[in-house]
Amino acid sequence: MIERSFGLIFFLKQSKDAHRNERTVYTRITVNKKSKDISLMYPWSIERWDIKSGRAMGNKADAKELNAFLETIRFKVLEGRRTLMESNTEITAENLKNILLGKTDENRKLLKVFEDHNRQMEALVGKEFSEGTMERYTTSLAHTRAYIIWKYKKEDISILDLNYEFIADYAFWFKTERNCAHNTTMKYLSNLKKIVLICLKKGWIQKDPFIEFKMVRKEVKREVLSKEELEMIGKKVLHSARLDQVRDIFLFSCYTGLAYVDVKNLKRKQLTVGVDGEQWIFTERKKTDTTTHIPILPQAMKLIKKYQNHPECENQGEVLPVLSNQKMNSYLKEIADLSGVRKELTFHIARHTFATTITLANGVPIETVSKLMGHKSLKQTQHYAKILDNKISEDMKNLRERLSGA
Protein backbone atom coordinates (compact mmCIF):
# COMPACT_ATOMS: atom_id res chain seq x y z
CA MET A 1 0.00 0.00 0.00
CA ILE A 2 1.38 3.42 -1.05
CA GLU A 3 1.63 6.13 1.59
CA ARG A 4 -0.73 8.97 0.53
CA SER A 5 -0.82 10.93 3.78
CA PHE A 6 1.36 11.11 6.86
CA GLY A 7 0.96 12.97 10.15
CA LEU A 8 2.77 13.19 13.49
CA ILE A 9 1.49 15.19 16.47
CA PHE A 10 2.06 15.38 20.24
CA PHE A 11 -0.77 15.86 22.74
CA LEU A 12 -1.73 15.42 26.38
CA LYS A 13 -4.06 12.66 27.51
CA GLN A 14 -5.79 12.07 30.82
CA SER A 15 -4.17 9.33 32.89
CA LYS A 16 -5.83 7.44 35.77
CA ASP A 17 -2.82 7.97 37.99
CA ALA A 18 -2.22 11.61 37.06
CA HIS A 19 -2.99 14.62 39.27
CA ARG A 20 -5.92 16.91 38.39
CA ASN A 21 -3.85 19.32 36.26
CA GLU A 22 -1.39 16.71 35.03
CA ARG A 23 -1.63 14.64 31.85
CA THR A 24 0.59 12.16 30.01
CA VAL A 25 2.35 13.16 26.79
CA TYR A 26 1.33 11.04 23.77
CA THR A 27 2.30 11.00 20.12
CA ARG A 28 -0.13 10.15 17.35
CA ILE A 29 1.19 8.68 14.08
CA THR A 30 -1.25 8.80 11.16
CA VAL A 31 -0.72 7.10 7.80
CA ASN A 32 -3.48 7.08 5.19
CA LYS A 33 -6.02 8.18 7.81
CA LYS A 34 -5.19 5.26 10.14
CA SER A 35 -3.72 6.32 13.48
CA LYS A 36 -1.79 4.83 16.38
CA ASP A 37 -1.49 6.59 19.73
CA ILE A 38 1.64 5.90 21.75
CA SER A 39 2.24 6.92 25.36
CA LEU A 40 5.62 8.56 25.90
CA MET A 41 5.30 7.94 29.66
CA TYR A 42 6.04 11.61 30.31
CA PRO A 43 3.75 13.56 32.76
CA TRP A 44 3.12 17.27 32.08
CA SER A 45 0.86 20.02 33.30
CA ILE A 46 -1.95 21.16 30.99
CA GLU A 47 -1.28 24.76 32.04
CA ARG A 48 2.22 24.58 30.53
CA TRP A 49 1.24 22.90 27.24
CA ASP A 50 0.66 24.61 23.88
CA ILE A 51 -2.07 22.61 22.13
CA LYS A 52 -1.49 24.33 18.77
CA SER A 53 2.24 23.58 18.51
CA GLY A 54 2.09 20.37 20.51
CA ARG A 55 5.01 21.45 22.68
CA ALA A 56 5.78 22.51 26.24
CA MET A 57 5.54 26.25 26.92
CA GLY A 58 8.16 28.43 28.57
CA ASN A 59 11.93 28.61 28.85
CA LYS A 60 12.38 26.65 32.03
CA ALA A 61 14.86 23.77 31.99
CA ASP A 62 12.17 21.07 32.29
CA ALA A 63 10.22 22.52 29.32
CA LYS A 64 13.36 22.63 27.18
CA GLU A 65 14.15 19.06 28.22
CA LEU A 66 10.68 17.83 27.22
CA ASN A 67 10.76 19.62 23.86
CA ALA A 68 14.18 18.15 23.12
CA PHE A 69 12.79 14.70 23.96
CA LEU A 70 9.80 15.24 21.63
CA GLU A 71 12.18 16.31 18.85
CA THR A 72 14.11 13.04 19.36
CA ILE A 73 10.84 11.07 19.07
CA ARG A 74 9.95 12.98 15.89
CA PHE A 75 13.36 12.21 14.40
CA LYS A 76 13.04 8.48 15.24
CA VAL A 77 9.65 8.25 13.53
CA LEU A 78 10.86 10.05 10.40
CA GLU A 79 14.01 7.91 10.32
CA GLY A 80 11.87 4.80 10.67
CA ARG A 81 9.71 6.00 7.79
CA ARG A 82 12.81 6.40 5.64
CA THR A 83 14.05 2.91 6.62
CA LEU A 84 10.72 1.36 5.61
CA MET A 85 10.91 3.14 2.25
CA GLU A 86 14.45 1.93 1.56
CA SER A 87 13.64 -1.67 2.50
CA ASN A 88 10.53 -1.59 0.31
CA THR A 89 8.40 -2.35 3.38
CA GLU A 90 4.85 -1.04 3.66
CA ILE A 91 4.64 2.24 5.57
CA THR A 92 1.86 1.96 8.14
CA ALA A 93 1.15 3.54 11.49
CA GLU A 94 1.56 0.09 13.08
CA ASN A 95 5.01 -0.43 11.53
CA LEU A 96 6.15 3.03 12.61
CA LYS A 97 4.82 2.39 16.12
CA ASN A 98 6.79 -0.88 16.27
CA ILE A 99 9.96 0.91 15.18
CA LEU A 100 9.46 3.57 17.85
CA LEU A 101 8.87 0.95 20.55
CA GLY A 102 11.80 -1.18 19.41
CA LYS A 103 9.58 -4.03 18.21
CA THR A 104 11.36 -4.39 14.88
CA ASP A 105 12.71 -7.40 13.03
CA GLU A 106 16.17 -6.31 14.14
CA ASN A 107 15.20 -7.62 17.56
CA ARG A 108 13.98 -10.94 16.18
CA LYS A 109 16.68 -13.45 17.07
CA LEU A 110 17.76 -16.43 14.97
CA LEU A 111 17.91 -19.01 17.77
CA LYS A 112 14.56 -17.81 19.13
CA VAL A 113 12.95 -18.41 15.72
CA PHE A 114 14.69 -21.81 15.55
CA GLU A 115 13.43 -22.70 19.06
CA ASP A 116 9.86 -21.68 18.16
CA HIS A 117 10.03 -23.88 15.06
CA ASN A 118 11.29 -26.87 17.06
CA ARG A 119 8.63 -26.35 19.73
CA GLN A 120 5.89 -26.50 17.09
CA MET A 121 7.52 -29.51 15.44
CA GLU A 122 7.69 -31.36 18.76
CA ALA A 123 3.93 -30.94 19.19
CA LEU A 124 3.43 -32.65 15.81
CA VAL A 125 5.76 -35.64 16.36
CA GLY A 126 3.82 -38.77 15.49
CA LYS A 127 1.37 -36.74 13.40
CA GLU A 128 3.39 -34.90 10.77
CA PHE A 129 6.98 -35.52 11.87
CA SER A 130 8.96 -38.53 13.05
CA GLU A 131 11.08 -38.65 16.20
CA GLY A 132 14.15 -38.93 13.96
CA THR A 133 13.31 -35.66 12.21
CA MET A 134 12.75 -33.97 15.56
CA GLU A 135 16.11 -35.22 16.79
CA ARG A 136 17.89 -33.85 13.70
CA TYR A 137 16.45 -30.36 14.21
CA THR A 138 17.28 -30.45 17.93
CA THR A 139 20.88 -31.32 17.05
CA SER A 140 20.95 -28.67 14.33
CA LEU A 141 19.77 -26.01 16.80
CA ALA A 142 22.54 -27.01 19.22
CA HIS A 143 25.14 -26.75 16.42
CA THR A 144 23.84 -23.32 15.37
CA ARG A 145 24.04 -22.07 18.97
CA ALA A 146 27.62 -23.34 19.31
CA TYR A 147 28.60 -21.72 16.00
CA ILE A 148 27.17 -18.32 16.98
CA ILE A 149 29.13 -18.39 20.24
CA TRP A 150 32.27 -19.40 18.32
CA LYS A 151 31.94 -16.75 15.59
CA TYR A 152 30.25 -13.81 17.33
CA LYS A 153 30.94 -14.48 21.03
CA LYS A 154 27.19 -13.91 21.57
CA GLU A 155 24.29 -15.97 22.85
CA ASP A 156 22.18 -15.13 19.78
CA ILE A 157 22.10 -12.82 16.75
CA SER A 158 19.48 -10.83 14.87
CA ILE A 159 17.98 -12.55 11.83
CA LEU A 160 19.04 -9.44 9.90
CA ASP A 161 22.66 -10.47 10.48
CA LEU A 162 22.12 -13.53 8.28
CA ASN A 163 24.15 -13.18 5.09
CA TYR A 164 26.40 -15.17 2.75
CA GLU A 165 29.35 -14.83 5.13
CA PHE A 166 27.32 -16.40 7.95
CA ILE A 167 26.42 -19.43 5.80
CA ALA A 168 29.88 -19.91 4.25
CA ASP A 169 31.63 -19.65 7.61
CA TYR A 170 29.08 -22.02 9.13
CA ALA A 171 29.96 -24.63 6.50
CA PHE A 172 33.67 -24.08 7.20
CA TRP A 173 33.02 -24.44 10.96
CA PHE A 174 31.31 -27.81 10.46
CA LYS A 175 34.18 -29.17 8.39
CA THR A 176 36.95 -27.89 10.69
CA GLU A 177 35.65 -27.46 14.25
CA ARG A 178 33.18 -30.37 14.05
CA ASN A 179 35.15 -32.48 11.54
CA CYS A 180 31.98 -33.21 9.53
CA ALA A 181 32.02 -34.64 6.01
CA HIS A 182 30.73 -32.48 3.15
CA ASN A 183 27.33 -34.20 2.88
CA THR A 184 26.80 -34.10 6.64
CA THR A 185 27.55 -30.38 6.54
CA MET A 186 25.00 -29.88 3.75
CA LYS A 187 22.41 -31.81 5.78
CA TYR A 188 22.76 -29.45 8.75
CA LEU A 189 22.73 -26.40 6.49
CA SER A 190 19.49 -27.69 4.94
CA ASN A 191 17.92 -27.70 8.39
CA LEU A 192 18.98 -24.09 8.93
CA LYS A 193 17.70 -23.17 5.46
CA LYS A 194 14.20 -24.22 6.50
CA ILE A 195 14.36 -21.69 9.33
CA VAL A 196 15.61 -19.01 6.93
CA LEU A 197 12.72 -19.74 4.54
CA ILE A 198 10.28 -19.22 7.40
CA CYS A 199 11.80 -15.78 7.99
CA LEU A 200 11.55 -14.97 4.27
CA LYS A 201 7.93 -16.11 3.95
CA LYS A 202 6.90 -14.04 6.98
CA GLY A 203 8.64 -10.97 5.56
CA TRP A 204 11.10 -10.71 8.45
CA ILE A 205 14.09 -10.66 6.09
CA GLN A 206 14.19 -9.42 2.51
CA LYS A 207 17.06 -11.44 1.03
CA ASP A 208 17.89 -15.16 1.16
CA PRO A 209 21.45 -15.53 2.56
CA PHE A 210 21.67 -18.94 0.83
CA ILE A 211 21.07 -17.46 -2.64
CA GLU A 212 24.75 -17.47 -3.67
CA PHE A 213 25.70 -20.55 -1.63
CA LYS A 214 25.81 -23.86 -3.52
CA MET A 215 24.00 -26.57 -1.57
CA VAL A 216 25.40 -29.41 -3.67
CA ARG A 217 25.90 -32.83 -2.11
CA LYS A 218 28.71 -35.07 -3.32
CA GLU A 219 27.64 -38.37 -4.77
CA VAL A 220 28.51 -41.20 -2.42
CA LYS A 221 29.21 -44.67 -3.72
CA ARG A 222 26.89 -46.92 -1.76
CA GLU A 223 28.26 -50.31 -0.79
CA VAL A 224 26.06 -53.26 -1.74
CA LEU A 225 26.41 -57.03 -1.66
CA SER A 226 26.55 -59.03 -4.83
CA LYS A 227 24.47 -62.15 -5.37
CA GLU A 228 27.57 -64.26 -4.70
CA GLU A 229 28.34 -62.45 -1.44
CA LEU A 230 24.77 -62.92 -0.25
CA GLU A 231 25.09 -66.65 -0.90
CA MET A 232 28.43 -66.78 0.97
CA ILE A 233 26.81 -65.22 4.03
CA GLY A 234 23.69 -67.36 3.81
CA LYS A 235 25.51 -70.68 3.37
CA LYS A 236 28.22 -70.14 5.96
CA VAL A 237 27.87 -72.57 8.88
CA LEU A 238 28.04 -70.55 12.10
CA HIS A 239 28.69 -72.37 15.37
CA SER A 240 27.19 -69.59 17.50
CA ALA A 241 23.45 -69.29 18.02
CA ARG A 242 23.78 -65.52 18.53
CA LEU A 243 25.74 -65.04 15.29
CA ASP A 244 23.21 -67.21 13.44
CA GLN A 245 20.38 -65.05 14.78
CA VAL A 246 22.09 -61.80 13.74
CA ARG A 247 22.86 -63.22 10.28
CA ASP A 248 19.16 -64.12 9.84
CA ILE A 249 17.98 -60.64 10.77
CA PHE A 250 20.52 -59.06 8.41
CA LEU A 251 19.39 -61.32 5.55
CA PHE A 252 15.74 -60.49 6.34
CA SER A 253 16.60 -56.83 5.78
CA CYS A 254 18.35 -57.74 2.51
CA TYR A 255 15.17 -59.43 1.24
CA THR A 256 12.65 -56.85 2.50
CA GLY A 257 14.54 -53.53 2.31
CA LEU A 258 13.50 -52.64 5.85
CA ALA A 259 15.86 -50.49 7.92
CA TYR A 260 17.08 -51.70 11.32
CA VAL A 261 14.51 -49.74 13.35
CA ASP A 262 11.66 -50.95 11.11
CA VAL A 263 12.71 -54.60 11.51
CA LYS A 264 13.02 -54.12 15.27
CA ASN A 265 9.51 -52.63 15.49
CA LEU A 266 7.91 -55.14 13.11
CA LYS A 267 4.94 -56.90 14.72
CA ARG A 268 3.23 -60.10 13.65
CA LYS A 269 -0.04 -58.23 13.19
CA GLN A 270 1.66 -56.29 10.38
CA LEU A 271 1.92 -59.48 8.32
CA THR A 272 -1.25 -59.80 6.30
CA VAL A 273 -2.66 -61.07 3.01
CA GLY A 274 -2.14 -58.68 0.10
CA VAL A 275 -4.11 -58.03 -3.08
CA ASP A 276 -2.57 -61.10 -4.72
CA GLY A 277 -3.51 -63.51 -1.94
CA GLU A 278 0.12 -63.75 -0.82
CA GLN A 279 1.66 -62.62 2.49
CA TRP A 280 2.68 -58.95 2.67
CA ILE A 281 4.24 -56.63 5.25
CA PHE A 282 2.18 -53.51 5.97
CA THR A 283 4.31 -51.03 7.90
CA GLU A 284 5.42 -47.40 8.19
CA ARG A 285 9.01 -46.29 7.86
CA LYS A 286 10.09 -44.86 11.20
CA LYS A 287 12.42 -42.34 9.54
CA THR A 288 9.88 -40.76 7.19
CA ASP A 289 6.46 -41.92 8.46
CA THR A 290 5.86 -43.32 4.98
CA THR A 291 3.41 -46.21 4.65
CA THR A 292 5.06 -49.17 2.92
CA HIS A 293 3.52 -52.40 1.58
CA ILE A 294 6.05 -55.14 0.84
CA PRO A 295 5.26 -58.55 -0.66
CA ILE A 296 7.23 -61.16 1.33
CA LEU A 297 9.82 -63.03 -0.75
CA PRO A 298 10.35 -66.78 -0.03
CA GLN A 299 13.76 -66.12 1.57
CA ALA A 300 12.19 -63.66 4.04
CA MET A 301 9.20 -65.93 4.74
CA LYS A 302 11.56 -68.77 5.59
CA LEU A 303 13.17 -66.59 8.26
CA ILE A 304 9.79 -65.50 9.66
CA LYS A 305 8.73 -69.13 10.10
CA LYS A 306 12.07 -70.00 11.70
CA TYR A 307 11.36 -67.65 14.62
CA GLN A 308 7.60 -68.04 14.96
CA ASN A 309 8.03 -70.13 18.14
CA HIS A 310 10.85 -68.04 19.60
CA PRO A 311 9.87 -67.08 23.22
CA GLU A 312 10.75 -63.40 22.83
CA CYS A 313 8.76 -63.13 19.60
CA GLU A 314 5.75 -64.94 21.04
CA ASN A 315 5.67 -62.82 24.20
CA GLN A 316 6.13 -59.47 22.44
CA GLY A 317 4.23 -60.26 19.24
CA GLU A 318 7.38 -59.52 17.26
CA VAL A 319 8.43 -61.07 13.97
CA LEU A 320 12.14 -61.37 14.80
CA PRO A 321 14.24 -61.18 18.00
CA VAL A 322 16.31 -58.09 17.20
CA LEU A 323 19.28 -57.00 19.35
CA SER A 324 20.47 -53.42 19.83
CA ASN A 325 21.88 -51.76 16.71
CA GLN A 326 25.33 -51.49 18.30
CA LYS A 327 25.45 -55.20 19.12
CA MET A 328 24.07 -56.16 15.71
CA ASN A 329 26.72 -54.19 13.83
CA SER A 330 29.44 -55.62 16.08
CA TYR A 331 28.34 -59.19 15.29
CA LEU A 332 27.98 -58.39 11.59
CA LYS A 333 31.68 -57.56 11.36
CA GLU A 334 32.48 -60.99 12.73
CA ILE A 335 30.02 -62.63 10.31
CA ALA A 336 31.67 -60.86 7.37
CA ASP A 337 35.10 -62.12 8.41
CA LEU A 338 33.86 -65.71 8.85
CA SER A 339 32.02 -65.63 5.51
CA GLY A 340 34.98 -64.21 3.59
CA VAL A 341 33.13 -61.03 2.62
CA ARG A 342 35.51 -58.07 2.50
CA LYS A 343 32.89 -55.43 3.12
CA GLU A 344 31.75 -53.80 6.32
CA LEU A 345 28.32 -55.26 6.93
CA THR A 346 25.73 -52.80 8.27
CA PHE A 347 21.97 -52.50 8.01
CA HIS A 348 22.52 -49.71 5.51
CA ILE A 349 24.22 -52.25 3.23
CA ALA A 350 21.30 -54.65 3.68
CA ARG A 351 18.79 -52.00 2.59
CA HIS A 352 20.94 -50.93 -0.37
CA THR A 353 21.37 -54.58 -1.37
CA PHE A 354 17.60 -55.02 -1.53
CA ALA A 355 17.31 -51.95 -3.79
CA THR A 356 20.00 -53.14 -6.18
CA THR A 357 20.96 -56.83 -6.14
CA ILE A 358 17.52 -58.15 -5.15
CA THR A 359 15.16 -55.85 -7.07
CA LEU A 360 16.64 -53.53 -9.73
CA ALA A 361 19.18 -56.09 -10.95
CA ASN A 362 16.34 -58.58 -11.44
CA GLY A 363 14.28 -56.27 -13.59
CA VAL A 364 11.94 -54.76 -11.00
CA PRO A 365 10.96 -51.28 -12.30
CA ILE A 366 12.49 -48.37 -10.40
CA GLU A 367 9.02 -46.97 -9.65
CA THR A 368 8.13 -50.21 -7.85
CA VAL A 369 11.46 -50.25 -5.98
CA SER A 370 10.82 -46.67 -4.84
CA LYS A 371 7.49 -47.73 -3.31
CA LEU A 372 9.02 -50.81 -1.67
CA MET A 373 11.79 -48.69 -0.14
CA GLY A 374 9.30 -46.19 1.26
CA HIS A 375 10.91 -43.30 -0.62
CA LYS A 376 8.91 -40.09 -0.91
CA SER A 377 10.22 -39.36 -4.40
CA LEU A 378 11.70 -41.29 -7.31
CA LYS A 379 14.83 -39.11 -7.06
CA GLN A 380 15.76 -40.87 -3.81
CA THR A 381 15.78 -44.21 -5.63
CA GLN A 382 17.56 -43.16 -8.82
CA HIS A 383 21.05 -43.18 -7.31
CA TYR A 384 20.75 -46.95 -6.83
CA ALA A 385 20.30 -47.41 -10.56
CA LYS A 386 23.64 -45.69 -11.23
CA ILE A 387 25.73 -48.40 -9.61
CA LEU A 388 24.36 -51.39 -11.49
CA ASP A 389 27.18 -51.90 -14.02
CA ASN A 390 26.36 -55.61 -14.25
CA LYS A 391 22.77 -54.84 -15.15
CA ILE A 392 23.88 -52.32 -17.77
CA SER A 393 26.25 -54.92 -19.22
CA GLU A 394 23.48 -57.52 -19.33
CA ASP A 395 21.00 -55.13 -20.95
CA MET A 396 23.51 -54.08 -23.60
CA LYS A 397 24.35 -57.74 -24.28
CA ASN A 398 20.67 -58.44 -24.93
CA LEU A 399 20.50 -55.36 -27.15
CA ARG A 400 23.51 -56.53 -29.20
CA GLU A 401 21.87 -59.92 -29.69
CA ARG A 402 18.61 -58.35 -30.85
CA LEU A 403 20.44 -55.99 -33.23
CA SER A 404 22.55 -58.84 -34.62
CA GLY A 405 19.41 -60.86 -35.35
CA ALA A 406 17.66 -57.94 -37.05
Note the pLDDT tens digit of each residue in 123-172. Answer: 998 788 878 889 999 999 999 999 999 999 999 998 888 999 999 999 99
Note the pLDDT tens digit of each residue in 380-390. Answer: 777 776 656 66
The mean per-residue pLDDT over the stretch 363-377 comes to 84
Q: Which pLDDT band holds residue 182 (cuts at 50, 70, 90)?
A: very high
* Residue 259 scores a pLDDT above 80: yes
* Residue 31 scores a pLDDT above 80: yes
pLDDT of res. 287 = 64
Q: Which residues pair with 271 in a beta bridge?
A: 281
**How many H helices and E strands in the chain?**
16, 8
157 CB-contact burial (10 Å; exposed 0-12 / middle 13-18 / buried 19+): middle
- Region of 54 please: left (phi>0), alpha (psi -120 to 50) or beta: left
Domains assigned to the chain: 6-103 (no CATH), 110-201 (1.10.150), 227-400 (1.10.443.10)
- What pairing do the DSSP bridges indicate for beta strands 291-295 and 279-284? antiparallel
Report the distance separating Cα 22 and Cα 45, nearest Å. 4
Q: Which residues pair with 272 in a beta bridge?
A: 280
Note the pLDDT tens digit of each residue in 286-295. Answer: 666 677 889 9
Helix, strand, coil shares of the chain, percent, nearest 5, are: 55, 15, 30
| Top-confidence residue, 108 or 23 | 23
pLDDT of res. 289 = 63
pLDDT of res. 378 = 76
pLDDT of res. 387 = 56
Q: Which pLDDT band holds residue 68 (cuts at 50, 70, 90)?
A: very high
Note the pLDDT tens digit of each residue in 198-249. Answer: 988 887 787 899 988 998 888 767 788 988 999 999 999 988 889 999 999 9
Radius of gyration of the chain (CA): 33
pLDDT of res. 244 = 92
The mean per-residue pLDDT over the stretch 41-50 comes to 92
Q: Which pLDDT band holds residue 18 (cuts at 50, 70, 90)?
A: low
The mean per-residue pLDDT over the stretch 324-345 comes to 88
Out of 101-105, 327-331, 333-337, least confident range: 101-105
Note the pLDDT tens digit of each residue in 94-131. Answer: 888 888 887 666 568 899 999 999 999 999 987 888 78
The mean per-residue pLDDT over the stretch 33-59 comes to 93
Note the pLDDT tens digit of each residue in 268-315. Answer: 998 988 888 889 998 877 666 677 889 999 999 999 999 989 988 888
Note the pLDDT tens digit of each residue in 76-86. Answer: 999 888 878 87
* Residue 11 scores a pLDDT above 90: yes
Rounded to the nearest integer, the mean pLDDT of the chain is: 87
